[in-house]
A and B are shown apart, each in its own frame.
Chain A
Amino acid sequence: EAGVAQSPRYKIIEKRQSVAFWCNPISGHATLYWYQQILGQGPKLLIQFQNNGVVDDSQLPKDRFSAERLKGVDSTLKIQPAKLEDSAVYLCASTATGFGNTIYFGEGSWLTVV
């Protein structure tokens, strides 16, 4: 079974530039998460999708971050304009419908804003 795929793995941009990250979840997984993990901290939920609908984006900085999940499969997370404090790993995860199911993570997209 293929895992959660993310790209790019690494990105360095200047502040005020834009960046987009892509995620392809495990086939059949209805729930998709984007987490932000700053070095030395635990993952922080940015947005959660159920199929192609948003169920939680309460911690997403909506003035600069946006995310979409077209057709309930792939997802894209965009940051525009980026700030220095956005330097982090952006983790995509997915899980099958049903409480208590395992959440599987991708390898992450490392963003450095200079």
Chain B
Amino acid sequence: EDQVTQSPEALRLQEGESSSLNCSYTVSGLRGLFWYRQDPGKGPEFLFTLYSAGEEKEKERLKATLTKKESFLHITAPKPEDSATYLCAVQPMNSGGYQKVTFGTGTKLQVIP
């Protein structure tokens, strides 16, 4: 069974204080790993897709990296508007021909001015 574990559950940062969120996964072959941002009262908003170990993607203050067992979401010099819950999800190779996706429980980030 596919498993996705995110840590920490919650993170409180001062504005400008860089940090990283972790997503550890167990799948029998990874097709893709997704990062989403979710604001309170909203649906998840897509950030990145990573396909293979060593791949990196950046968007503004966010950079996602991928290894064979985990992914990191690095946040550089965060601002209060980066406060949200960040969700990680995986799509396995053996999804029976369908695009099965399993989500983690998320990391709730709070950036204090």
Contacts and interface: CB of A to CB of B under 8 A. Distances in A.
Contact of A100 (B51, B96, B105): B51
B45 to A, nearest CB: 7
Contacts of A107: 41-43
A31 interface: yes
B99 A45 contact: no
Interface string B1-30: 000101000000000000000000000000
A43 B31 contact: no
Interface residues of B, number: 28
Interface residues of A, number: 29
B44 A43 contact: yes
A42 B25 CA distance: 14
Interface in B35-64: 36, 41-46, 49, 51
Contact of B99 (A40, A91, A99, A104): A99
B73 to A, nearest CB: 15
Contacts of A44: 103
Nearest to B4: A42
A50 interface: yes
A42 B43 contact: no
Interface string A26-47: 0000010101000011111100
Contact of B103 (A4, A43, A55, A110): A43
A106 B43 contact: yes
Contacts of B6: 42
Given A55-B96, A100-B91, 6 more contacts: A31-B98, A33-B101, A35-B103, A42-B104, A48-B100, A100-B31
